[in-house]
């Protein structure tokens, strides 16, 4: 295949790209609100005092994995829709970021969650699974010649 020829775009690329842009867009919204509004945003989200204290105690170096996870994913979704091979790199960066967050969370568990927020226990695993899928998917699309 020459540089001027591209493989046909499968319909699922558009579905995956749009759905993950929405998913990752929410992650970006949550990041921006957490950084700019902090406690007010967290309280409005239903977090308890113990949960807010947990997030306030997060070391500043943890912003690195958080930024990589969130913004790598947003960039990856956009680059996937643009059919750029750099989507692979962005999604791998995101995966590394969310793995860093998961490891930190496992080493520093969050305080007991109220029953209404019990699903937050599983969210880091769901986020890692989605990030791993996206890195794999982008690589598969690159191998098929869809991303250039």
Residue 128 and residue 101 in contact, taking contact as beta carbons nearer than 8 Å: no
Task: Please report whether residue 1 resides in a domain.
Answer: no
Note whether residue 148 is domain-resident.
Answer: no
The set of residues, in sequence order, having a beta carbon less than 8 Å from that of 113 and lying 6+ positions away, is: 48, 51, 120, 121
Tokens of 74: 């947003």
79 is a domain residue: yes
- In-domain check, residue 85: yes
Question: pLDDT tens digit string along 47-100?
Answer: 889 889 989 999 999 999 999 999 999 999 999 999 999 999 999 999 999 999
Write the CB contacts of 57 (distance below 8 Å, at least 6 apart in sequence): none
DSSP class of 5:
-
| Number of domains making up the chain | 1
Q: Which domain holds residue 25?
A: 11-143
Predicted TM-score (pTM) of this structure = 0.89
User: 124 in a domain, yes or no?
Assistant: yes
The stretch 107-135 carries a mean pLDDT of 86
Average pLDDT over residues 109-132: 84
The pLDDT, as a whole number, for residue 117 is 73
Other residues' Cβ atoms within 10 Å of the Cβ of residue 11: 8
Q: Is residue 3 part of a domain?
A: no
């Amino acid at each position: 295949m020459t540089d001027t020829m591209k493989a046909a775009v499968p319909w699922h690329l558009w579905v995956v790209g749009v759905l993950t842009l929405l998913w990752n867009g929410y992650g970006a919204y949550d990041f921006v609100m957490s950084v700019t509004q902090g406690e007010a945003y967290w309280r409005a989200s239903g977090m308890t005092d113990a949960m807010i204290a947990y997030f306030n105690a997060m070391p500043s170096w943890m912003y690195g994995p958080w930024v990589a996870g969130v913004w790598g994913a947003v960039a990856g979704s956009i680059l996937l829709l643009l059919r750029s091979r750099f989507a692979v790199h962005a999604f791998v960066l995101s995966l590394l970021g969310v793995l860093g967050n998961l490891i930190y969370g496992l080493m520093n568990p969050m305080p007991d969650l109220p029953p209404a927020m019990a699903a937050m226990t599983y969210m880091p695993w769901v986020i890692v699974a989605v990030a791993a899928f996206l890195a794999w998917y982008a690589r598969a699309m690159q191998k098929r010649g869809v991303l250039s």
